[in-house]
Structure 1
Amino acid sequence: MGITVSQTTPAPGAPRLSHRLGRHAGVASIAGFFLICVIAFAFATDTFLTSGNLLNVLRQSAPLLIVATTMTLVITTAGIDLSVGSTLAFVGALAAVALHAGVPDTLVVIGGLALGGLIGLVNGYFIAIAGMPAFIVTLGTLSIVRGAALLITQGYSVPVDSNGWFVDLGREWFLGLPLPAVIAVAVMAAGWVVLRHTRFGRYIVGIGTNAEGVRRAGVDVRRVIVKVYILSGAAAGLAGLITTARLGSGSSNQGVGFELAVIAAVVLGSTNLFGGRGTILGTLLGALTIAVLGNGLILIHVSPFYTQIIQGAIMLFAIWMNTRIFSPQRRRKG
């Protein structure tokens, strides 16, 4: 008994501090990289730190923030959802078609969220109930849903009448901030509460760590996974509605490559790609980093083609950091 006390009393704060720093190393690293990007672009161009540009970054990054929140939940369960970009385009295009046909704005918004959730339900069924790999299932729905968007629009952009309140989803202001950004912050706050302070969030983390152990504890693992994919689909639907409202038109070409940016934001934020660890704060920083990179490179007149190359390189680097550094460290500490 005395030996135990003598071993733990010399530096009681040091191991605890070291453990906390180790656990949050990924979030700290992306926070540092984000600050470096902001400082670099602030010196490179006078327009980057203007209020107009920063608010524009927030408005444009809102769909990414919204979908990245639920993608964090999906990846924490050791899953993946490649269909979010196609869902965004399909819901946005169908919303434009419905508004053009005279469907009330409220019904369009509710229907768009329900449609996105339905696509997520289909994904969840085949993944959780049928036992198919998430990558294959969502790759298939990516193609099907994008094809459906092309079918209903015939490849054309469908304009949205600006007389209704629907366009306010993408253009209105609230307390001096763009409404899309306010919605995104609300979604991320809800995602943080769910993941950190609810039983459902603990199930999500447990499934990513040891799904069989969670099942033996009496949890309906399949139902939890289905719910996660429903949330992912609904978030993509909301992002599609906001995008269509902001642009004033719906198109089947919206959201091409969007799933890459979403996954990059989540992984860059240090969520474990193999499940068991997720962080909404890290996802927020990862999404803002991608948004700042895209905006800043345009302001310094770099070709947008380089933006995709840089984002892809950052994603590869983030995955390498995730699998080679943070995961082994976590195992050693566990």
Structure 2
Amino acid sequence: MGTTVSSESPARPTLSLSHRLGHHAGVASIAAFFVICVVAFTISTDTFLTTGNLLNVLRQSAPLLIVATTMTLVITTAGIDLSVGSTLAFVGALAAIALHAGAPDTLVLIGGLVLGGLIGLVNGYFIAIAGMPAFIVTLGTLSIVRGAALLITQGYSVPVDSNGWFVALGREWLFGLPLPAVIAVAVMLAGWVVLRHTRFGRYIIGIGTNAEGVRRAGVNVRGVIIRVYVLSGVAAGLAGLITTARLGSGSSNQGVGFELAVIAAVVLGSTNLFGGRGTILGTFLGALTIAVLGNGLILIHVSPFYTQIIQGAIMLFAIWLNTRIFSPQRRKKG
């Protein structure tokens, strides 16, 4: 008896530790990879770890951080939003045209957010109410919205007057940090609170795990899904406004491939591509990793074409890990 107890008792803490490591393995791995990238680029070039370069990385990655936050919510519901890059371009281009026509800065800001939300509402309607696959719906809106951006700009870049306060949205500083970075951090904190500490966040996770079970519990699943896509559209609209303000112009070419970078950041951060599990901290690390990779490869004079190849390879590897690690666990839960 005594021998049996002594041999079994150490197994319990081992299982507990294994469970904890497994639960946070994705975030830990992307954190380790992020540190490796920072160390590698710090050794490779003298300019990477300078204050100016790090602040520049934060400023440039702000749109990615903002949209990746709401994409985490979308993917946690087992959905996808491929239209965020086109929404960014459309809202940014329309904002530049409106400012060029003399519209008030405040009206342009509010209008841009509302327009992004409306695009998200259209996505949410066809996905939640019409029952169409999210991939097909958002692929369609990607094409429509990008086409609309090309139509209103005729393929030209529209300059923004720098006299108003609108450009401060992308160029101003606050607390010694670029304002876009401050906005991005605020959005990510809000996303973390929503996902982890609100009923709405629990519904999002529940829908990704077992939507029918959540519906039978009395939750308006369709309403939750629609709100998630509206939030994704608003975030893409905000990213478009910030990008236009930072660059000083709006263009239909902005945000090309942006949706891939956003999805890569979310999946790299260990959010389950099949729904039911999302982490804002992991998304934050995933987005910064992509930003650091892009910046570091440029500083060591690697061709930007290789940057795209590396980003695609990392995304493919992340999806493979998602399939191998999370999918079996999901089947066990089922």
Classify the TM-score, shorter chain.
over 0.9
Alpha-carbon separation, structure 1, partners of 2:266 and 2:309: 18
Query: What is the percentage of aligned positions where both structures have the same residue?
Result: 90
Superposed CA deviations along residues 89-112 of structure 1, whole A, max 9, x for unmatched, are 000000000000110000000000
Q: Give the aligned partner of residue 233 of structure 1.
A: 233
Deviates more, 1:322-331 or 1:106-115: 322-331
Q: Give the aligned partner of residue 71 of structure 2.
A: 71
Mapped contact 1:266–1:286 kept (Cα < 8 A):
yes
TM-score, L = length of structure 1? 0.96
Equivalent residues in 2 for 1:25-104, closer than 5 Å = 25-104=25-104
> Residues 7 and 43 of structure 1: is their aligned pair in 2 closer, same or farther, counting only changes over 3 Å?
same
The gaps in structure 1 that reach 5 residues or longer are none
Q: Give the aligned partner of residue 210 of structure 1.
A: 210
Equivalent residues in 2 for 1:149-188, closer than 5 Å = 149-188=149-188
Alpha-carbon separation, structure 1, partners of 2:126 and 2:245: 32
Residue type at the aligned position of 1:272: N
The Cα shift of 1:15 comes to 3.0
Mapped contact 1:76–1:204 kept (Cα < 8 A):
yes
Superposed CA deviations along residues 160-196 of structure 1, whole A, max 9, x for unmatched, are 0000000000000000000000000000000000000
Mapped contact 2:92–2:241 kept (Cα < 8 A):
yes
Superposed CA deviations along residues 239-279 of structure 1, whole A, max 9, x for unmatched, are 00000000000000000000000000000111010100000
The Cα shift of 1:140 comes to 0.4
Mapped contact 2:274–2:327 kept (Cα < 8 A):
no
Q: Give the aligned partner of residue 139 of structure 1.
A: 139
Alpha-carbon separation, structure 1, partners of 2:288 and 2:330: 26
Q: Give the aligned partner of residue 112 of structure 1.
A: 112
The Cα shift of 1:19 comes to 1.4
SS at match of 2:48: coil
Alpha-carbon separation, structure 2, partners of 1:179 and 1:118: 26
Mapped contact 1:273–1:322 kept (Cα < 8 A):
yes
Q: Give the aligned partner of residue 278 of structure 1.
A: 278
Alpha-carbon separation, structure 1, partners of 2:51 and 2:87: 32
Alpha-carbon separation, structure 1, partners of 2:317 and 2:40: 20
Q: Give the aligned partner of residue 21 of structure 2.
A: 21
> Residues 238 and 7 of structure 1: is their aligned pair in 2 closer, same or farther, counting only changes over 3 Å?
farther
CA RMSD between the two structures: 1.8
The Cα shift of 1:14 comes to 3.6
Alpha-carbon separation, structure 2, partners of 1:282 and 1:333: 23
The Cα shift of 1:10 comes to 4.8
Mapped contact 1:23–1:330 kept (Cα < 8 A):
no
> Residues 7 and 211 of structure 1: is their aligned pair in 2 closer, same or farther, counting only changes over 3 Å?
farther
SS at match of 2:256: coil
Mapped contact 1:86–1:146 kept (Cα < 8 A):
yes
TM-score, L = length of structure 2? 0.96
Alpha-carbon separation, structure 2, partners of 1:330 and 1:219: 22
The Cα shift of 1:220 comes to 0.5
